């Protein structure tokens, strides 16, 4: 028990990001980067996910013996922002999930027989070339290998913690608040629709200088829901973690996700 407690303490004391992303597991997506882009309904966008590196380590990447681990830049001044084009959304979510695990915990077991270049097929070509150069350089650097390889005991403990977190996440599917069926009396989407129809001009939300009536609030929520459904490919029962700052969009995203039936968790990037 003492060893287990020490391992937990060791992992919990690591500084991983300003928003303690290590406390969130599942599928991580940053759907919005700038509010103006969302407000224009992301016209002419490919399905693109943005996220910044948040490691305290200096530049390092290690790919060897089916282990994939890396960190690039500092927490307060990331060197690289990745742009990931989703040729297959479900596939890309798996990659993002794997990427973050390896970033936070230093090791990830991946499929055998995948070449270095294939592992980065989903990364913007300019960044891909830069990363491959770093990989080739670090593969022979034993000091870096030793410094950023997680112990097997830590890895097993990580897997157990991830399993428990995902179990909690999946239980949210049973909460009526998340049901998106229009006929369900507990559907939050239905309630928003009803208020917009019955009291369209009543104020629904104030955010700093912004004001939204029930009708406007519902319209914006539907726009977000349509974007998530038709552009991103989210569907009822999916799990998504959305990274947003303190903006009015947070409420639109929460209700839009609930209308679709997506289990969502929002992470405030300004905390």
d(CA 7, CA 158): 10
Question: How many of the other CB atoms lie within 10 Å of CB of 192?
Answer: 20
Quick: pLDDT tens for 182-235: 455 556 677 778 888 888 888 877 776 778 888 998 898 888 888 888 887 888
Q: Which 3 state secondary structure label does DSSP give 181?
A: coil
Which pLDDT value is given to residue 199? Answer: 85
CATH number for the domain whose boundaries are 175-268: 3.40.50.980
Closest C-alpha among 244, 268, 250, 255 to residue 50: 244
- pTM value surpassing 0.85: no
Asked if pLDDT for residue 48 goes beyond 50, the answer is no
CB 240 within 8 A of CB 27: yes
**Which residues, at least 6 apart from 201, have a Cβ–Cβ distance to it below 8 Å?**
213, 214, 215
Q: Which residues contact 42 (CB under 8 A, 6 or more apart)?
A: 227, 231
| Cα 214 from Cα 7, distance rounded (Å) | 50
Please tell me the predicted confidence (pLDDT) of residue 38.
31
Convert the pLDDT of each residue in 123-146 to its tens digit: 344 444 554 554 455 444 554 444
Q: How far is CA 114 from CA 99, 111, 118, in A?
A: 15, 7, 6
Q: Domain locations in the chain? A: 2-168, 175-268
């Amino acid at each position: 028990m003492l060893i287990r407690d020490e391992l937990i303490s060791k992992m919990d004391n690591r500084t991983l990001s300003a928003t303690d992303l290590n406390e969130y597991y599942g599928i991580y997506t940053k759907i919005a980067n700038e509010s103006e882009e969302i407000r224009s309904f992301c016209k002419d966008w490919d399905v693109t996910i943005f996220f910044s590196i948040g490691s305290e380590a200096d530049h390092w990447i290690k790919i060897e013996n089916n282990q994939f681990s890396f960190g690039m830049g500092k927490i307060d001044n990331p060197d690289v922002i990745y742009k990931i084009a989703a040729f297959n959304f479900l596939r890309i979510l798996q990659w993002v999930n794997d990427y973050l695990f390896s970033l936070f915990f230093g090791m990830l077991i991946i499929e055998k027989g995948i070449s270095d270049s294939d592992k980065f097929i989903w990364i913007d070509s300019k960044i891909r070339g830069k990363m491959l150069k770093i990989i080739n350089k670090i593969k022979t650097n034993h000091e870096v290998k030793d410094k950023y390889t997680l112990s097997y005991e830590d890895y097993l403990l990580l897997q157990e913690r991830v399993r428990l977190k995902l179990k909690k996440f999946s239980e949210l599917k049973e909460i009526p608040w998340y049901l998106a069926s229009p006929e369900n009396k507990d559907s939050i989407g239905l309630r928003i629709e009803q208020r917009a129809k019955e009291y369209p001009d009543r104020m629904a939300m104030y955010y700093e200088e912004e004001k939204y009536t029930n009708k406007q609030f519902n319209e914006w929520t539907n726009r977000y829901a349509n974007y998530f459904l038709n552009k991103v490919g989210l569907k009822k029962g999916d799990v998504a973690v959305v990274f947003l700052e303190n903006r009015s969009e947070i409420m639109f995203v929460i209700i839009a996700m609930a209308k679709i039936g997506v289990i969502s968790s929002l992470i405030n990037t300004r905390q």
